[in-house]
Structure 1
Amino acid sequence: MACSRDYLNKGWTFRQSDDDTADAWLPAQVPSQVHMDLLANKKIPDPFLDLNELSVRWIAEKDWTYKTHFQKPAGPATDEPVVTDLVFEGLDTFATVLLNGMEILKSDNMFLSHRVDVSNHLKDQNELEITFDSAMLRGSELVKEHSREHTFYVRQTEVSRVPVRKAQYNWGWDWGPILMTAGPWKPIYLEQYVARVDDVWAQCEVSEDLKTCSGRIFAKVVATADKATSFTLSLTLDGQSVLEQECSVDSDGIAQTEFSVENPQLWYPFGYGKQTRYELKATLGSYHQVSKLVGFRRTELVQQEDAFGKSFYFRINGADVFAGGSCWIPGDSFLSNMSAERYHDWMKLMAEGNQIMIRIWGGGIYEHDALFDACDELGILVWHDFAFACASYPTYDSYLNSVEEEARQNVRRLRSHPSVVIWAGNNEDYQVQERYKLDYNYADKDRQSWLKSSFPARYTYEYLLPKIVSEEDPEKIYHPSSPWGDGKPTADATVGDIHQWNVWHGAMHRYQETFMLGGRFISEFGMEAYPHLETTRNMIPNPQQQYPGSMMMDFRNKAIDHERRMISYVAENFQIKYDLPSYTHLTQIVQAETMHFAYKTWRREWGAPGARKCGGVLVWQLNDCWPTMSWAVVDYYLVKKPAFYAIAHALTPLAVGISTTYHQWTAGHDDPTLPSRDIKFDLWIASSRLQPVQVDITIRFISIRTGQDVLPPKKLDSLTAESNSTTEVIRDCKVEATGPPFDPTRPFDLAAYDPYVIHAAISADNKVVATDIAWPQPLKYLDFSSREVVFKAVSSSRVSITATRPVKGFVFEETRATKKLSDNGFDIIPGEKVVVDVMGVSVDSLRYTYIGASEGSIAISLT
């Protein structure tokens, strides 16, 4: 008899638990969360529109009950004893489960799955009922109950979230709404078996020379009694057998065998090699079979003393990898909305954007298998935080027991994914320790003393979680926190990873100053921007509210002091236009410019072997959980902002970077003409290619006012871009001034002021592979009138754009219908043409704008 599964996904109803009226029960979908079912039954307005988030907050303080009826599954034709388990993959969060009126389960952890043997409790007709208590109210009760033993410090939203093992962002964050979910958020099913394979996994190591992969394969077996049956563990590649071994099952239900693969085909990150995966299979006679795709790779986190402090970068299969990528928040406020296809579409964007690592943030969930399947397929490295964020968490016994089970279940679930390379203990909890001056003496290694301190969660992050990872998945890297650096202050740029929030937050440095703000690994930084116009107009349908600073626009942006910060960055760099289309464009270009400066300058610090000053850059954030304006570089509907493309350009396998001397312009007695007169520039090549490349570079100096070359181009031929390194080509090259000489004794002649851009193009095999442009800063001092932009249709899905004078921040207005733009948010240089592929809409339906355009959004006109 094979193991069978019957999903309980039909016939569900739900109600507010204290509503006893006859018509209280309403149809529900499972998996689901209560807001989704209330919305489907038209009992609440759409929380994603206008101020409707406020209209549904009452849901958080209510209890909710879900119920269904089902027939007992037909029993198998066998004389052997059969087990029927009722499996709950996820219950959100305080759940009491009744089967035919009898309590069979209580759960208080959203991150746990549960399996209950109901063999002796089923009738021909059965009733399953699940009541979900208010997580907000239960959290408040737990805070009161444990307030004598623990002080519940919290940095985001309110304190009731801290003792509750639930996705913390449900309490609201500085990019997301307060939407306290409840319900059966993952599948529920009956599973019948005589014997089954519970799990199969491998623990192995790839040798340093990459010629051998060896270790052990394990399987966990569950059976009604000892089974004298064959049990086989096998490993295949492309249908060809690599290993097939019959094994016995020990008294703990474990079968295992040693294995060794010579010259293994390895799994590589995107851009470094193939994403080869083997099929690992456990077969329990005729009873059950489980298979998984697994990848073998050698993973190291290199932390060595060097001239800059202590390094922090990843080495995969012997190759040092610059981890350029993004941070990930939950993909939806209602997680049951997230399909496998949607997860794949998100991860596909990572590869399209040359991004190689995604960091799963600790205030969300242990992410869905579909996300990791996509990362395995596409070669995206995963950094996964454990589910703690921005708080001082408790350590009372029942809480720690729940955390341990949660961690073990999820490490086991994810251990076979080659994409997952590192677990971090939490997000920013050591910053909470610093802010509130909680006890922390790094030299004190007595973990029992940690439990008695005002920062007891150190026990969780520095003892319990690393212990679990080492026991369940010993090849994985563990990092106590993000950020973290050997017990030093979390802002220490010489060690570990840092969250660099002195752009936007903190000191609000100019984005042009990112070159001064680097670290060994920047695992968070960001800049806010509006989404494209369609998203804004959809989330705020009232035209009278569709302007910057309106009540609904302000409400939608959850970042503290968002308008003050956003307008500062816009006003400091651009001439302000405050209508919605123009201001949207300006915020997007500010964000794109921040990405351009940050990724190219920090990638420059990748350096060379033995001098890896910066090991990676992860933007906060890739995505949104609802339609909003935020730090996301792609909005809720997967519509890419210009910043996404700026990152993609900066992370091309072979990139050229150019920078000019930085001059402040708002610090007091500054000379605003200095950036266009005192010009020195650096030029470098950043390469992730594993072999040296011969390249040519052309450098042009182009008048912004006239579009003419004001100096002869520089040509650098037959240069060698060193493999997987930064190659410094030019340092502090002084460029002669153009135009009439500046005479400080005479009135300044603005008409003669003629600043220029420096444009660098790098070619390999006679093909331009990357460009970069250095503009005089700030951009608001420049004259962008009369750009003379011309469009030509190359085909029905391709358009070329040229301009007579340099164009800054050209943006096509992208919509959900625009399935793909190959580029957006780019600059245009006279004598060059930009060719853009368009999918989903016709070329002649596009609208566009750029800095200095006479209108906020202009219809394309083809010639």
Structure 2
Amino acid sequence: MLTRTAAPGPWTLHLDTAGPDADPAVLAGLPVPATVPGTVHTDLLAAGLIEDPYLDRNELLTPWIGRSRWRYETTLPAASLPVAPGAERTDLVLDGLDTLATVYVDGAERLRTRNMFRSYRVALDPADDAGAAEVAVVFDAPWGPFDELDEDTRRAFDSPSAHIRKMACNFGWDWGPTLVTAGIWRPVRIESWSVARLAETRVEVRAERAGAGWRGVVEVGVELERTATAHDVALVVRVAGAERSVVVPAAETSARLVVEVPVADADLWWPRGAGAQPLHDLEVELLDRVTGEALDRDDRRVGFRSVEVRRDPDADGESFAFVVNGRPVAALGFNWIPDDCFPHRVTHDDVAARLRDAGEANANILRVWGGGLYESDDFYAQCDELGFLVWQDFAFACAPYPEHEWMLEEVEAEARENVVRLMSRPSLVIWNGNNENWLGWDDWGWKERLGDRPWGERYYLDVLPRVVADVSPHAFYWPGSPYSGTPEVYSNDRSRGVVHLWDGWNEQGYQVFLQDRARFVSEFGWQGPPAWRTLTDAVHDDPLLPDSAGVLHHQKAVDGSLKLSRGLAPYFDEPTGMADWHWAMQLNQARALTFAIEHFRSLRPLNMGSIVWQLNDCWPVASWAVVDSAGRRRPAWFAVRAAFAPRLATIQPRDGGLALVLVNDGVEAWAGTATVRRVGLDGRVLAEQPVTFEVGSVAGTTLPLDPALGTPGDAGAELLVADVDGAARAWRYFTVDRDLAYPRPRLDVKAVPLDGGDVEVTVTTDTFVRDLTLHADRLDAGAAVGDALVTLLPGESATFRIAGADPALAGTLAGTLADTVQGGEVLRHAGDLVA
């Protein structure tokens, strides 16, 4: 039976050739112990030779690392070669090399690589009793392919990431640092085997209609590698538990079998919120036909579901909607970027925490963005278990890509390996060709700059769809995000396909979202700073200001600070103090996302998808994330949680007036009553309209409001509030914050310590209070609040639960900030939180 064991260490890291501006003190400290999996940056950091590049402006001290040549070395002891006594083959298996690597065994070159997204295998020679294998992996500078271009080509293809099959965001992004990594970034192991092994196992799992019920279909295809002595051996491939097998005749290396199993409605795998996620064990075994000996096996967990993307022509263009097990699904979720610039540091618990953030925000889909990675098996396994739909980009983003023959071959091999790896995942529902490359061709001047040079279209319309169709023929492939369905129609056409909406952030303010009637939005967002504690732990400027050097360094967007201010200007005066600036920008991010999501959802069923840019951060930075790199939830997270609620009430402009729009993305119909009131900021009811409603599953209904209700006597002193059975309260204002006559808040704040160290904080107000938020992390680094952005009418109360604070502080929480909005200024109000 094939045996697997982690390659023994220790490994050491050496410098072969230093890049320009290398620090002599660092060079003097080499070599250092190396971690595998790991990267050069983290090994140097662990050895104390560089400062943490996430802090202050230390990133600026590291560019030489990505322009240097590095070498990892280890010795594989003779006892490990082979691991299994009598094995015919022993292989060194490298799951991920980043990126331009040459592998030497006992001084002989055995392998050259140029793709971060593939795995590799090197056959080892059995060592004699006194010997051992010396392994070296040498990494050339990732900048090399770009630096070696002639000036004309560099101008035409101006993104270094386009010339190397490597995580594009390593070269910097508008939310990420430039930390150009090298190293053995995924595990290394030794495999010993005899006769044959499963070189490739393709498992496609689906549910199909069978009369009134369902049947499950499992299609298994394998490619085998035989040893030289096993050429004439007949083999058997068996799906354990299904009593199905197929004989692989001597000399052949391919086999295929299909298994059908009964599946009841209760056994279908559903997206979260639509049903359960039952998973089943599947084992594919390779056997010697004569001896019955098990030679290799592949174990996985699978789920049965049907998936289609419905694209029906209609009066508004063409729909784009996911349909799972025959039911339409409203896709609400987030774009996912690498959770760390050094991906080997991302643990199972880190993934679980981020998925918990997404799930508790009522998301059901995650888009794995093309400038990052094909994620770990653990990521997809957790998505399977939790019911997240996964939209998987291929690794292309925001650049024209040359179509060299070597790169065409690399991309095909990379695509095949990753489609094979992920095709059995019930969570995976779409393969997407690229991120914003069609948009670049249409809008970013590529046509003029590139002329008749190939720019990547062949990948998206030929190589990638061909691989998907060949390997996983029932999977859905889409050529890009955004993309309209054909190169003949503008890629970001709002009437069809999927769109990215960035005019609001970049130029026009978030009110512009109201003009978009997009069918499916796969990117939109608004920027804000990370949590206060996350920012101040990473940036130590004195004084700390919105424009101090460290703060600006942790703002990677072009004109990002200007856009933050410009986006705030319609609603608030520019704050002068750092704390007020920080809160104002966080609040505006939350407001923008609420505005956009409620608008898109109010178009149901015309719009069937809203994927926010973005869920997570890879380092402490001003960004579009709703959860920062320390795992702290920004106010925007709470805004999205409310806007993604399965049942949503929102007041929207319709036909020159206002309407109460009710959106039900749940499985069951929704019926009840609602009362819409126009009230003064003093709480007086000025007008009222009761309504009854019924909304079907994954549907919306629009209830026009009486014009008298929507016409204020004093826009600055009145608002609309809707109380709806089964949904959170909806609010609408007649003017912007600057022009609202907010009363100065009068808050009564009480804190009660709970068993286990949590604290319950109750805030009661005698006045109207909007977006009340407790910033517990300012008091204690580990403290987190369970709610935020709470709006109260006079006489109402809200209760907040603070978890994770130091128990010693539980009874003395004076100084916790209760932030609210007053008269167009952002004010802080410190409540007396003494228990």
Question: TM-score by structure 1 length?
Answer: 0.87
Shift of 1:80: 5.4
Q: 5 Å matches for 1:281-320?
A: 281-284=283-286, 285-320=293-328
Matched position secondary structure for 1:402: helix
Match of 2:243, SS state, is: strand
**2:610 matched to 1:648?**
no
Structure 2 equivalent of residue 755 of structure 1:
717
For 2:674, the equivalent position in structure 1 comes to 697
Render the CA deviation track for 1:166-206: whole Å, top value 9, x for unaligned. Answer: 11111111111111101111111111112433454433542
SS at match of 1:179: coil
The residue identity in structure 2 corresponding to 1:64 is: W
Tell me: CA distance 1:629–1:151, structure 2 relative to 1, closer, same or farther (3 Å): closer
Gaps of at least 5 residues in structure 2 are 19-23, 287-292
Percent identity reads 30
Q: Is the 8 A contact 2:817 2:831 kept in 1?
A: yes
* Residue aligned with 1:538, SS: helix
CA distance in 1 between partners of 2:580 and 2:536 (Å): 14
- Distance in 1, matches of 2:502 and 2:749, equals 40
CA distance in 2, matches of 1:475, 1:580: 53
- Deviation for aligned residue 1:307: 1.3
Closer, same or farther in 2 for the Cα pair 1:436/1:634, shift >3 Å? closer
Q: Does 1:775 align with 2:747?
A: no
> Does structure 2 retain, via aligned residues, the 8 Å contact 1:808–1:827?
yes
Q: 1:28 to 1:212 in 2, by over 3 A?
A: same
How far the C-alpha of 1:689 sits from its partner, in A, is 1.8
- For the residues of structure 2 that align with 1:227 and 1:807, how far apart are their CA atoms? 78
> Which amino acid counterpart does residue 856 of structure 1 have in structure 2?
R
Q: Aligned equivalents of 2:17 and 2:509: distance in 1? A: 54
Question: Partners in 1 of 2:434 and 2:472 — Cα distance?
Answer: 18
Alignment: residue pair count: 795
Residues 205, 215 of structure 1: 8 Å contact kept: yes
Contact 2:766 2:796 in 1 (8 A): no
SS in 1 for 2:163: coil
For the 8 Å contact 1:689–1:724, the answer to whether it is kept is yes
Matches within 5 A, 1:841-860: 841=805, 845=813, 846-852=816-822, 856=828, 858=830
Instruction: Give, in angstroms, the shift of residue 472 of structure 1.
Output: 1.0
Show the counterpart of 1:127. 134
AA aligned to 1:828 is L
Shift of 1:680: 4.3
1:165 aligns with 2:158: no
By how many angstroms is 1:542 displaced? 3.2
Corresponding residue SS for 1:211: strand
Give the whole-Å Cα distance in 2 for the aligned partners of 1:197 and 1:185. 24
Is 1:200–1:281's contact at 8 Å kept on the other side of the alignment?
Answer: no
Match of 1:827 in 2: 791
Question: How much does 1:436 deviate?
Answer: 5.4
Residue 746 (structure 2) aligns with: 788
Moved more, 74-83 or 12-21: 74-83
**In the alignment, which residue of structure 2 is the partner of 1:800?**
762
What is the deviation of 1:456? 4.2
Q: Distance in 2 between matches of 1:494 and 1:391?
A: 25
| Matches of 1:85 and 1:606, distance apart in 2 | 54
Measured after TM superposition, the shift of residue 781 of structure 1 is 1.3
Return the offset for 1:46.
1.0
Match of 2:221 in 1: 218
CA distance in 1, matches of 2:234, 2:491: 56
Superposed CA deviations along residues 834-854 of structure 1, whole A, max 9, x for unmatched, are: 333332126664433122388
Q: Please show how residues 291-440 of structure 1 align to structure 2 within 5 Å.
A: 291-435=299-443
Q: 1:318 deviation in Å?
A: 1.1
Q: How does 1:415-814 map to 2 (within 5 A)?
A: 415-435=423-443, 453-485=452-484, 486-487=486-487, 488-505=489-506, 508-544=507-543, 546-607=544-605, 613-659=606-652, 680-704=657-681, 706=682, 708-717=683-692, 719-731=693-705, 733-735=707-709, 755-764=717-726, 769-793=727-751, 796=754, 797=758, 798-814=760-776
How many angstroms does 1:108 deviate by?
1.0
Cα offset for 1:366? 1.1
Sort the Cα spacing of 1:220 and 1:244 in 2 relative to 1 into closer, same or farther, 3 A. farther
Superposed CA offset, 1:327-356 (max 9, x none): 111111111211122112111211111011
**Could you tell me whether the CA contact under 8 Å between 2:750 and 2:763 is conserved in 1?**
yes
Task: Report Cα offsets for 1:109-145 as digits up to 9, x if no partner.
Answer: 111110111135787322111111111123322x33x
Alpha carbons 2:677, 2:709 under 8 Å: kept: no
What is the distance in 2 between the residues matched to 1:429 and 1:851? Answer: 41
Deviation at 1:726, TM superposition (A): 0.5
Residues 527, 631 of structure 1: 8 Å contact kept:
yes
Offset of residue 4 of structure 1: 1.9
Q: Helix, strand or coil for the counterpart of 2:322?
A: strand
Q: Does 1:41 pair with 2:47?
A: yes
1:232-261 CA-to-partner distances (Å, cap 9, x unmatched) read 3135xxxxxxx2223322444344332222
Shift of 1:222: 3.7
Distance 1:509 1:439 in 2: 26
Which one is further off, 398-407 or 68-77? 68-77
| Aligned partners of 2:650 and 2:661 also within 8 Å | yes
In structure 1, C-alpha distance between the alignment counterparts of 2:560 and 2:617, rounded to whole Å = 16
Whole-angstrom distance in 1 between the partners of 2:702 and 2:528: 33
State the Cα distance separating 1:435 from its structure 2 match.
3.4
Q: Does 1:837 align with 2:791?
A: no
2:268/2:278 contact within 8 Å kept: yes
SS of aligned partner of 1:690:
coil
The superposition leaves residues 787-839 of structure 1 with CA deviations (integer Å, 9 ceiling, x where unpaired) of 22233457624333332222222222153855653322232233543333332
Q: What CA deviation, in whole Å up to 9, does each residue of 1:764-807 have, x standing for no partner?
A: 4xxxx322211233111123342222334576243333322222
Q: Residues 191 and 860 of structure 1: is their aligned pair in 2 closer, same or farther, counting only changes over 3 Å? A: farther
Aligned to 1:138: 145
Mapped to 2, the partners of 1:465 and 1:229 lie a distance apart of 32
**8 Å contact 1:221–1:249 — kept in the other structure?**
no
Measured after TM superposition, the shift of residue 496 of structure 1 is: 0.7
For 1:184 and 1:6, the matched residues in 2 are separated by 17
Q: Distance in 2 between matches of 1:367 and 1:533?
A: 30
User: In the TM superposition, what is the alpha-carbon distance from 1:287 to its structure 2 partner?
Assistant: 3.3
Tell which deviates more after alignment, 617-626 or 78-87.
78-87
Q: Are the aligned partners of 2:528 and 2:623 in contact in 1 as well (CA < 8 Å)? A: yes
Letter in 2 for 1:263: V
Alpha-carbon deviations, 1:687-724, whole Å to 9, x = none?
012222222213233322x2x2232543334x212221
2:132 maps to amino acid: Q
Maintained 8 Å contact 2:403/2:454: no
Once residues 840 and 299 of structure 1 are traced to their aligned partners in structure 2, the CA distance between those partners, rounded to angstroms, is: 41
CA distance in 2 between counterparts of 1:589 and 1:295 reads: 41
**C-alpha distance in 1 between matches for 2:104 and 2:483:** 44
Q: Distance in 2 between matches of 1:364 and 1:482?
A: 15
Q: CA 1:738 to 1:101, structure 2 compared with 1: closer, same or farther past 3 Å?
A: closer
The one-letter code sitting in structure 2 at the alignment partner of 1:14 is: L
For 1:277, the aligned partner's letter is L
CA shift, 1:74, in A, is 4.7
Instruction: State the 1:737 CA deviation.
Output: 5.3
Task: Provide the rounded CA distance (Å) in 2 between the counterparts of 1:737 and 1:112.
Answer: 62
TM-score of the two chains, using structure 2 as the length reference = 0.90
The structural deviation recorded for 1:9 is: 5.4
Match of 2:592, SS state, is helix
Matches within 5 A, 1:174-213: 174-194=174-194, 195-208=196-209, 211-213=214-216
Which residue does 1:262 correspond to in 2? 262
Counterpart AA for 1:603: R
Q: Check if 1:84 corresponds to 2:90.
A: yes
Q: Which amino acid aligns with 1:127?
A: E
Secondary structure at the residue paired with 1:656? strand
1:735: how far off?
A: 2.0
Question: Contact (CA 8 Å) 2:272, 2:388: kept in 1 or not?
Answer: yes
Is contact 2:750–2:832 with CA below 8 Å preserved after alignment? Answer: no
One-letter code aligned to 1:823: D
Equivalent position amino acid for 2:422 in 1: L
